[in-house]
Amino acid sequence: MPDHDFYFTDKARGYPAAVERRAVFDSLYSGSRGRSTSDDCRQAQDVINRWRAKVNQLRSLDCSGVRGPRGQWVRNCPPTGVVRGEKRQLRSCNLDRVCPWCFARAHAVGIYKTLERALFLDTPARGKYKLLLRSETLAVEKGRSYFYALSYGRGLVDMLYKLNQPGSVGFASLIALYPRKDRWCASVRLLSVVPEDWQAGDRWKASKPILLKKQLIPYAARFGSYPAGLLAGDGAMLAQYLDSELPVKLKSCFGLLTKRTFNGRASKFKEEGDGPGGV
Ligand SMILES: [Zn+2]
């Protein structure tokens, strides 16, 4: 299969597509304020070029996730938030630990859909809740593994979850791992659904009461934003991370944001949640 030429659109079709674009472009390109939508097409092509270069690097390191013919398929992972009219059905590579599009689909679009269901479908609660978002970055010492960074991040999630819990009816966390120079970093993102009159601490960015699905876009995109360090980082460290057969659990959720509480059973969320560290 040759490299696929993608056909880009300058407007996102639908909110999930808009979330996917923002999750990738806002973290990779600074100065997105005042940007035009045609920037999306240019940036999408740039991301594809950079991703293909990264895949080549991982292939040269004999990384099993991109070995053989699979590598070409991975190079053609489709950016669904920026293409349309594909004649040929292209499949996602599912390497969501490192691929920009799959990362955004798994985490940013994933949380958008979770929030949409929780706040608009299962518990119609227009204006009753607002969102709080917080992100913190940790870097571990040189020589420590990504697992160390992950457990360090989990400790922070547990602590912030306990502090936030009194007001929270739904909570999600994501620990995005990436290499920076010679060490692993953990970008810890926390999202909490709280009653609209809840007073958040200083380090939380608070939304207005959620009345429209559109308001979820920036929060979902920032929660699931793609770490630039994954495209820029050390290839050997990334190959090791990608090839890990040990379970790497990056996400957790609680209360209104767990799937088990959907289908109108959200009132039971306190008994059903299992805390951020446990799942
Ligand atoms: Zn992919």
Tokens 């013919």 belong to residue: 69
Q: pLDDT band for position 275 (50/70/90)?
A: very low
| 10 alpha carbon – ligand 1 mean position (Å) | 21
* Dihedral angle of Cα 233, 204, 269, 252, to the nearest 10 degrees: 10
**Alpha carbon separation from 95 to 84, 246, 277 (Å, rounded):** 22, 15, 23
Decide if 13 is inside a domain: yes
pLDDT tens per residue across span 99-130: 999 999 999 999 999 999 999 886 667 789 99
Residue 180 and residue 246 in one domain: yes
Neighbours of ion ligand 1 (CB under 5 A): 77, 92-93, 99, 101-102
| 244 alpha carbon – ligand 1 mean position (Å) | 17
pLDDT at 238 exceeding the cut of 50: yes
| 50 alpha carbon – ligand 1 mean position (Å) | 13
pLDDT tens per residue across span 187-221: 999 999 999 999 888 889 999 999 999 999 999 99
Q: What is the span of the domain harbouring residue 62?
A: 7-89
| 91 alpha carbon – ligand 1 mean position (Å) | 8
Residue 168 and residue 62 in one domain: no
Residue 78 and residue 185 in one domain: no
pLDDT tens per residue across span 240-249: 999 988 778 8
Last residue of some domain: 89, 119, 149?
89
| 51 alpha carbon – ligand 1 mean position (Å) | 9
Into how many domains does the chain fold? 2
| 3 alpha carbon – ligand 1 mean position (Å) | 14
Whether the CB-CB separation of 124 and 265 falls below 8 Å is answered with no
| 199 alpha carbon – ligand 1 mean position (Å) | 39
| 79 alpha carbon – ligand 1 mean position (Å) | 8
Whether the CB-CB separation of 190 and 135 falls below 8 Å is answered with yes
| 87 alpha carbon – ligand 1 mean position (Å) | 19
Residue 182 and residue 257 in one domain: yes
Residue 249 and residue 118 in one domain: yes
Residue 259 and residue 124 in one domain: yes
| 73 alpha carbon – ligand 1 mean position (Å) | 9
Looking at residue 263, its pLDDT comes to 43
pLDDT tens per residue across span 179-195: 999 999 999 999 999 99
200 torsion bin: left (phi>0), alpha (psi -120 to 50), beta (else): beta
| 204 alpha carbon – ligand 1 mean position (Å) | 31
Decide if 143 is inside a domain: yes
Entry pTM: 0.89
Residue 161 and residue 136 in one domain: yes
CA-closest candidate to residue 193, choices 174, 173, 175: 173
Residue 264 and residue 134 in one domain: yes
| 4 alpha carbon – ligand 1 mean position (Å) | 14
Residue 226 and residue 261 in one domain: yes
| 48 alpha carbon – ligand 1 mean position (Å) | 10
